[in-house]
Amino acid sequence: MTTTESTDVLIVGSGFGGAIAAYHLAAGGAKVTVLERGPWLKAADFDHDFLLGSSYTRIFDFVVGDGMSLLGGNCVGGGSVVYFAAMPRAPRFVFDRVSATGQRIWPESISRDVLEPWYDRVAEALPITQQDWNDVTFAGGLFAAACAHAGRTANPVPAAVDRTKCTNCNWMMSGCRFDAKRSLLLNYLPAALAHGAEIRPLHEVQKLTRTEGGYRVHYKVVDDVDYRVYAGEGEIDAKIVVLAAGAGATPVILQRSEPELGPMPRAVGRYFSGNGERLNTAVVDEDRARELLGLKRGDGPAFRANQIGKGPVVASWDTLDASRPTHSRYSLEQLYFPPGFGTILAQVPDATGPSWFGKEKKELVRQWQSWLTVFTMVEDDNEGVFGPPPPTGNAVRISQQMLGRGPIRYEPSANTLRGWAESDAAVRDILERDGLARVMPWTNDVVGAYTVHPLASCRIGDDPQTSALDDGQELRGHPGIFVTDGSAVPAALTVNPALTISALAERAVPGIVKAARDRGVNVSYGAPAPGGETAGRRGVQAQLPGLTGL
Ligand SMILES: Cc1cc2nc3c(=O)[nH]c(=O)nc-3n(C[C@H](O)[C@H](O)[C@H](O)COP(=O)(O)OP(=O)(O)OC[C@H]3O[C@@H](n4cnc5c(N)ncnc54)[C@H](O)[C@@H]3O)c2cc1C
Ligand code: SF4
């Protein structure tokens, strides 16, 4: 017989949305339990290796859908452990975007100005700092110089990286061995633990049901080595549930819960956005780089190694201009993707045979030292829809780690395709100018479009028809269930989303505290940053009465 435990607040997932809620609620005095599907690794466990069973395959999740593949974290700390830590704020126009029917997409109550102090809170907590040109890697410098050569601008991006500790090892996606990347393992999560929160790794939540005073959360225990195998199951009652399993998993849990929980808002599992992502690989002509830009990699072994550099260091934001039409606003970021995914999807410029495999591809791979990868984030049209949920989890697991087949369907609209075509043309304009490089986008023929930034599958908004959550991130029709992960972000951001997801989660916390208090939990709001800093807390004071009703 399964015994039922109980807690005040049950949090599903330990990425940005989960960790932020866990810290504040635990610090405020609530009993907090976090269930996380993936394992719990720390710095010394992060391998510089791609072998099956290394940290790379244990903490990474790759779900192939129909027309869209999702990449994300699968571990305590979620995406923060595998991410590149580029942390820009979303441009102002993003919050004012209207849908094709002229309806405002974001809630009326949330603008860039409103979010600003919440951005500040997260920036203080992680912390985030502005990189300068001294932090820029050769590849980033090459991209910046190419932008200047093409009459465009480029800038170092703000990042959650301790630049004094970073060794430029380029193993960002396997977890940072040097604790230089400011993942949630270094701030919100240890602070939540210090305040008594319990984090249970390898616990995959399947569904919620209703109880007298709240909700029952049903989970299965995942085997540490073969994630297809379940080693047990259980259930926990909670007065408040915070769903933060990521935009690829949160709607699936809710869909599976619907028969027992009651009808879900129409927007659960719809309006998914891949943040309009696209990648281009350029093969740089090293002689032209020297002649045109005065840049030379040098012949030493350093530049024959994969592992030199770090995630995105430089971005071009010239087209993040409110006066441009929707879908024509995008950022371009120099990026490094390790061998594997990128090597397979890169296409041969001017191929006469197949573009992503075959003899010509073999030749392209031989030139990998000269590759420069550019990441594009455009505005898409929230085209993604989730089909019926798989029997367990958010995907049918195909391999023992990392790979699954998920229910998402995504057919890019003409607008999205146009946005990609425009940004591809911009990348070519920068990098092919005067024969500097040859450029091709990654193919969408193998795994469809792809995203490391899943968003909007359970989104906030003012219209109950097109949004699953109200502007306090509470699930419509199911009081006491909140969603604080990327699925709440209503549309593409044109920049990397983790900071916006986090700022929204920070903003949602006072309302969650109020809901918990209304259900008899002795909890208060007002903890400082996890490291004890207080400027961020002061900054949000003015907004608290509106969020807590006090
Ligand atoms: C390679 C890569 C690079 C990236 N680089 C950047 C970057 O530079 N800047 C940026 O802003 N963003 C970046 N991102 C994106 C960023 O990581 C995500 O946007 C962010 O982590 C999303 O936060 P979240 O709270 O929505 O969910 P996540 O951080 O994805 O956390 C969700 C957690 O829930 C867990 N989970 C899922 N299902 C269940 C379940 N059923 N039960 C229990 N737990 C569950 C998952 O294992 C995961 O740990 C990158 C992502 C990847 C993959
Ligand atoms: S490049 Fe820097 S931040 Fe990234 S994993 Fe290596 S040491 Fe950590």
Q: Which stretch of 279-283, 328-332, 361-365, 369-373 has the lowest confidence by average pLDDT?
A: 361-365
CB 228 within 8 A of CB 470: no
CA-based max dimension of the chain: 74
Record the tokens describing residue 89, joined without a space.
């704020």
Nearest CA to ligand 1 atom 28: 15
Q: Which of 116, 110, 119, 112 is CA-nearest to residue 160?
A: 119
Distance CA 137, CA 157 (A): 12
Instruction: State the number of CA atoms in the 13 A half-sphere of 282 facing the CB.
Output: 29
Question: Going by C-beta distance under 8 Å and a sequence separation of 6 or more, which residues neighbour residue 464?
Answer: 265, 266, 476
Q: Which residue has the tokens 């391999």?
A: 399
CATH number of the structural domain 1-125+173-275+382-410+448-544: 3.50.50.60
Distance CA 52, CA 402 (A): 9
| Average pLDDT of span 297-325 | 86
Extended strands (E) in 327-381: 331-335, 371-377
Ligand nearest to the CA of 177: 2
Nearest CA to ligand 1 atom 13: 83
| Global confidence as pTM | 0.97
Q: For 511-549, how does the pLDDT look when each residue is reduced to its tens digit (9 = 90+)?
A: 999 999 999 999 999 999 999 999 999 999 999 999 987
Going from the Cα of 162 to the center of ligand 1, the distance in angstroms, rounded, reads 20
Instruction: State the number of CA atoms in the 13 A half-sphere of 291 facing the CB.
Output: 10
What percentage of residues in the chain have a pLDDT greater than 90?
85
Better-predicted residue by pLDDT, 88 or 354: 88
| Average pLDDT of span 213-225 | 97
The single-letter DSSP state of residue 455 is B
Residue 544: enclosing H or E segment and its boundaries? helix 544-548
Core vs surface per residue 224-253: b (16+ CB within 10 A) or e: eeebeebeeebbbbbbbbbbbbbbbbbbbb
The CA dihedral of 399, 403, 407, 408, to the nearest 10 degrees, is -170
Record the tokens describing residue 330, joined without a space.
């995008």
CB atoms within 10 A of CB 529: 21
Q: Closest ligand 2 atom, CA of 310?
A: 1
Hey, which of 47, 161, 164, 336 would you mutate to test ligand 2's pocket, going by the most ligand atoms within 8 Å of its Cβ?
161
Distance CA 497, CA 243 (A): 18
Number of residues assigned to the chain = 550
Q: Tell me the domain boundaries of the chain.
A: 1-125+173-275+382-410+448-544, 129-159+277-377+411-446
Nearest CA to ligand 2 atom 8: 176
Residue 353 has pLDDT above 90, yes or no: no
Q: How far, in Å, are 55, 193, 406, 489 from residue 485 at the CA level?
A: 23, 20, 19, 8
Q: How far, in Å, are 12, 258, 395 from residue 71 at the CA level?
A: 18, 26, 12
pLDDT at 362: 85
Residue 73, φ and ψ in degrees, nearest 5: -85, 155
- Indicate the pLDDT class of residue 340, thresholds 50, 70 and 90: confident
Amino acid at 410: Y
pLDDT at 1: 59
Q: Which of 480, 486, 483 is CA-nearest to residue 471?
A: 483
Record the tokens describing residue 118, joined without a space.
């919440």
Question: Going by C-beta distance under 8 Å and a sequence separation of 6 or more, which residues neighbour residue 494?
Answer: 90, 91, 94, 276, 320, 329, 330, 331, 377, 378, 379
CB 52 within 8 A of CB 28: no
Going from the Cα of 79 to the center of ligand 1, the distance in angstroms, rounded, reads 3
Radius of gyration over alpha carbons of the chain, in Å?
A: 22
Record the tokens describing residue 84, joined without a space.
């590149």
Record the tokens describing residue 387, joined without a space.
């089909």
| Average pLDDT of span 445-471 | 94
Going from the Cα of 311 to the center of ligand 2, the distance in angstroms, rounded, reads 8
Residue 352 has pLDDT above 90, yes or no: no
Ligand 2 lining (C-beta closer than 6 Å): 161, 166-172, 176, 178, 180-181, 310
Nearest CA to ligand 2 atom 4: 172
pLDDT at 548: 86
CB 312 within 8 A of CB 375: yes
**Beta pairing class for 129-130 and 158-159:** antiparallel
Whether 277 is in the pocket of ligand 1, judged by its Cβ within 6 Å, is: no
The single-letter DSSP state of residue 12 is E
Distance CA 308, CA 336 (A): 10
Question: Vertex 387, ends 385 and 392: CA angle to 5°?
Answer: 125
β-strand partners of 219: 205, 234
Q: Closest ligand 2 atom, CA of 169?
A: 6
Q: Which stretch of 337-346, 355-364, 386-395, 421-430 has the lowest confidence by average pLDDT?
A: 337-346
310, with CB counted inside 10 A (0-12, 13-18, 19+), is buried
Q: Closest ligand 2 atom, CA of 84?
A: 4
Going from the Cα of 498 to the center of ligand 2, the distance in angstroms, rounded, reads 18
Going from the Cα of 182 to the center of ligand 1, the distance in angstroms, rounded, reads 14
Nearest CA to ligand 2 atom 7: 166
Hey, which of 55, 81, 181, 337 would you mutate to test ligand 2's pocket, going by the most ligand atoms within 8 Å of its Cβ?
181
Q: For 103-150, how does the pLDDT look when each residue is reduced to its tens digit (9 = 90+)?
A: 999 999 999 999 999 999 999 999 999 999 999 999 999 999 999 999
Whether 335 is in the pocket of ligand 1, judged by its Cβ within 6 Å, is: no
Instruction: State the number of CA atoms in the 13 A half-sphere of 86 facing the CB.
Output: 27
What percentage of residues in the chain have a pLDDT greater than 70?
99
pLDDT at 93: 98
Core vs surface per residue 87-124: b (16+ CB within 10 A) or e: bbbbbebbbebebeeeeebbbeebebebbebbbbbbbb
